[in-house]
Structure formats: C-alpha cells, structure tokens
Amino acid sequence: MEIEQTLKSEDCVSYDEEVIEHHGHSDWSSSNINERPVAVVYPRSTEEVSLIAQICSAHDVPMVPFGAGSSVEGNFLAPYSGICIDFSYMDKIVAFHPEDMDVVVQPGVNWVDLNEQIRHAGLFAPLDPSPTAQIGGMVSTNCSGTNAMRYGTMKDWVVNLTVVLADGSVIKTRRRPRKTSAGYNLTSLFVGAEGTLGMVTEVTLKLAPIPQDTSVAVVSFKDIREAASAASSIIRSGIQLAALELMDDLQMQVINRHGSAAVRKRTWDEGPTLFMKFSGTTDAIQSDIQRVSELIKPHNAGQFHFAKTKQDEQDLWAARKEALFTMVSIRKEGTVLWSTDVAVPLSRLADIIDVSKKDCSQLGIFASVIGHVGDGNFHVAMFYDPNDAAQKARVSKVVHDMMDRALEMEGTVSGEHAIGLGKKDCLVDELGIETIDLMRTLKRSVDPKWLLNPGKVFDLPS
C-alpha cells in the first residue's frame, strides 16, 4: 500500500490478525465493538506521521492514534475502521532541560520510564495513571491519578505540543515558556481531545522537584460517609496533601487476603479507609500529620497509622497502588472488568459515594468503590460476566445511574478516563447539545472530512 512505499522503514505496517486484534479490542474496556482497523502503522517521526495523514486524507481513510492501549472507554477503537497509528517506536526523550525543569518527549514514552531516567536531576513528571500509560495517551485523555490533588491533571503539565493535523500539516502550539498569555490556548484544546483534532507527535512537559520528604498515613472509618466527610474536612483545611485516596471495605478485604507479601505484613481494618500521602519538608510533614490526626477525630476514625520508616511508607502506599491489579488477578473465571469514574463538587462526594456503593452491593457481583477523593473524583470497579446479558444490563444501569446522579450534582460523567466511545451519550446529557455543537464546529473546521479518530467524544452529525 501507499504508506509502505512512502515510509520505507522495516515493519512500518502490519496486517497481522493478532496485531490488529490487539489494536482493535480492549480487555480494560466495556465498549468493545466488532469493527477493526485494516492495518496498524508504526511511524518513527513527526514527518512520517505527517506523510501518513496526507495519504489517509487523500483517500478519506480514518486515522486512529494508539498509545499503550490502557484507556478504558474504548478511546482507541475503530468504529469506522481505517488505519491504526501506533506510536511505540516514537519513544525517545528528545531533550531534557533540568535547569528549565522541563523535558521534551515523543508520545510513545512511558511515564514510569521517564521518571526513572530523570530522577538523578531531582525532578519528576507528577501524574501517575496506569503504570503502562504513555505520554501521548495521557495527553489525549487529560489523565490524572492519585497525585492530582496536589499536582492537578495532565493539562497543567503540558508546556507545548507538536501536532499533525488531518491534512498532514504540522503545528507547534507554543515555544517553551512555563507561563504565557499569548494567543489561544491550543495546547489545552488538544489535551483531552482524544486525537480527534490532531495527532500529538511531541510533548514538552513541565517537571516538578521531587519533594524533600514524603510520608503516608492510613485510617479507617465505620462507614463510607464518615470517610468521605473526613476527606472533606482535610481538603477544606488547606493542608496540602500529595494524595488523598479512599478504598472501600471490599478492597480492604482483597488486600488482607490476596495482597502482596508487603501489604499482608499487617491485618488491615476492613472498613472504608483513607490513604494519605504527605510531601514537602520533613518538618512540614510532621506538622501536617499532626493536624490531620486532629481533623479526623470528629469523624469516628479508627486507629491512625502513619509510616515510621521509609519501608513502612512504601508498604502502606503499596496497598493503595496494587488494589486494581490485585482485584483483576483474583477475578472469577469468565468475568471482565467494568471500570468507570465520575467527579462531583466536593460537598456532594459523600452523598454520591454512599448511594453508588449501595447500588453496587445489590448487584450480587464483586463491585467496589475507590476514590481520588481529594478532587471529588471516584471510580467504581465491577467484575461481570459479559455473556450474561441480564447481568450486564444491571451493571450498565448502575453505571448510568451513577452518571445521572453526578450530573444532578453538577458533576461530570468522566473525571479522568475521557469519553471515547463509552460515554458519548452521557456527554450530551452533561453539556447540552449547544455545547456539543460548538465542539463539532471546532472539529469540522480542522478536520472537515471527519477522519481523525471519528466517532469518539461525540457522534458525527447525522
């Protein structure tokens, strides 16, 4: 095909069925479809991505960018088939500027690898989504993770983007200032656009200094409402935690029974539990821990554990970080994961978690709540049998009820997973058709043939 002749490097295109299956189906998503891309293309440079776009544009072929494949809303599926563009080979750190506290990377760089490579300079990229995630996908979904409470979301860490537009033209959104008020914020327009406006081929990321010290504290509560209320008090106090996470009773049980050796060193209370990460100077952390222990008292808190050693700290945090993977590893044969999230204004978090948790527990399946409660965001993880249509419908109803509830509370149907295929209808409910139409107008102006990741975020106008 024309792309092979143009790119010329070995392995630049694959038609292998397994490869196509891997790029057209997701084990992490409840939005799978039957369509598949016709081929997977592996560009090595911005220029090659531009050539691919020129060819696809000339032949009206949809282009679907692909990163690590860890997104959960079907963000990289190919409902209109077309070409999947896999950024695996664009995995280089282009330039590291420790003195400017930024780094220029290609989209295929994994964030854990990146942080390993720059650690010697005392800097890090502070967002922590799935450990497999790559920068390109993190940009395109405006991801976050446990550190968002202190550090915000992906949009707050992108200095500039190099982007290939639908017709193959290449633009750079900015130079490298950490702050600017010059012209439209194109950077933030592409962040979270899920590749529907352009394909990101280079990213300059702000970096943060690795904190002088960190610590972790863990405390359980008698019910999830008390836990969420305690979280609220902490947030309102202005104490700047690095993370504030909630795990429910089911997850604490999983950890006690199936967690790694490190987290099974102690027997955890099996009530809803807050995990707190502190960061800053050693003195400030001591003072913050003291204040937090006072703040949670009125909420009938259980015993307040805080890390006394670095090993202790790692063990405590490991319990939070391995929760999802532990759940996946012990799931019942034949069941699959439905992972979803919403976010609401802070004062409504206890209400929505409480009701959603009750809904989940009536499903008769493993369904638990985990929350980035520091920013009003929480997840539900459920394992259901995809061949049991009635069960799937019940799970789907719980998810949709939760989203409706989030909207009634002036929240959002997606806190950090973006929209993909899975939440398009809900986005219309969230924003109204006038706002969706404005998004469509913008889309049409830069991609008039609707070739870039078509069918995601919102539907093509009929």
Q: Which of 112, 328, 346, 363 binds a second copy (CB under 8 A)?
A: 346
Under the binding rule (CB under 8 A), the answer on residue 347 touching a second copy is yes
Q: Do 62 and 38 touch, CB atoms closer than 8 A?
A: no
Whether the Cβ atoms of residue 382 and residue 363 lie closer than 8 Å to each other = yes
Q: Which of 18, 34, 184, 364 binds a second copy (CB under 8 A)?
A: 184
| Residue 30 touching a second copy (CB under 8 A) | no
Out of 222, 264, 266, 291, name the contact with a second copy by CB under 8 A: 291
Quote the Cα angle for 48-94-454, to 5°. Answer: 45
> Applying CB under 8 A, does 94 fall inside the site for a second copy?
no
Burial letters 7-40, b for 16+ CB under 10 A, else e:
beeeebbbeeeebbebbbbbebbbbeeeebbebb
Query: Is 303 one of the binding residues for a second copy (CB under 8 A)?
Result: no
344 binding a second copy? (CB under 8 A): yes
Listed ranges 38-46, 81-89, 145-153, 270-278: which one lies at the site for a second copy (CB under 8 A): 145-153
Select the residue interacting with a second copy from 7, 85, 398, 419 (CB under 8 A): 419
The answer to whether residue 175 forms part of the interface with a second copy (CB under 8 A) is yes
With CB under 8 A, what is the number of residues at the site for a second copy?
A: 98
What's the min distance (Å) between Cβ of 458 and a second copy?
7
Using CB under 8 A as the binding rule, whether residue 445 contacts a second copy is answered as yes
Q: Does 97 bind a second copy (CB under 8 A)?
A: yes
Minimum Å gap between C-beta 301 and a second copy is 20
Q: Which stretch binds a second copy (CB under 8 A): 19-27, 62-70, 363-371, 439-447?
A: 439-447
Instruction: Tell me which residue has tokens 């194109």.
Output: 186
Per-residue DSSP letter, 68:
S
**Separation CA 443–CA 367 (nearest Å):** 37
Task: Tell me whether residue 314 or residue 441 sits nearer to a second copy (CB atom).
Answer: 441
Q: Are 45 and 107 in contact (CB under 8 A)?
A: no
Min. distance of Cβ 375 from a second copy in angstroms?
4
Q: What are the angstrom distances between the C-alpha of 318 and each of 16, 262, 263?
A: 38, 8, 7
Query: CB neighbours of 133 closer than 8 A, spacing ≥ 6?
Result: 67, 68, 70, 110, 111, 143
Tokens standing for 262? 């490190």
Quick one: three-class SS letters along 402-451?
Answer: HHHHHHHCCCECCCCCCCCCCCHHHHHHHHCHHHHHHHHHHHHHHCCCCC
> Contacts with a second copy in 377-406 (CB under 8 A)?
377, 406
The only residue of 24, 37, 271, 376 in contact with a second copy, by rule CB under 8 A: 376
Work out whether 233 is an interface residue with a second copy (CB under 8 A): no
Is 185 a binding residue for a second copy by CB under 8 A? The answer is yes
Q: How far is CA 163 from CA 57, 177, 180, 204, 327, in A?
A: 16, 18, 19, 12, 37
CA 186/CA 295 separation, integer angstroms = 42
The residue among 251, 247, 222, 232 whose CA lies nearest residue 149 is: 232
State which of residues 134, 141, 220, 368 lies at the interface with a second copy (CB under 8 A).
141
φ/ψ region of 195 (left if φ > 0, alpha if ψ in -120 to 50, else beta) reads left
Could you tell me which residues are beta bridge partners of residue 199?
Answer: 164
Residues numbered 237 to 256 that lie near a second copy (CB under 8 A) are 237-240
Give the Cα separation of 347 and 411 in Å (integer): 11
Nearest to a second copy of 62, 137 (CB atom): 137
- Judged by CB under 8 A, the residue of 247, 336, 395, 427 near a second copy is 427
Write down the least CB distance from residue 198 to a second copy, Å. 9
Q: How far is the CB of 150 from a second copy (least distance, A)?
A: 10
Q: Rule CB under 8 A: which of 266-285 touch a second copy?
A: 280-281, 283-284
- 183 is an interface residue for a second copy by CB under 8 A: yes
Pick the closer one to a second copy by CB: 71 or 106.
71
Regarding 212 and contact with a second copy (CB under 8 A), the answer is: yes
Q: Which stretch binds a second copy (CB under 8 A): 23-31, 84-92, 297-305, 372-380?
A: 372-380
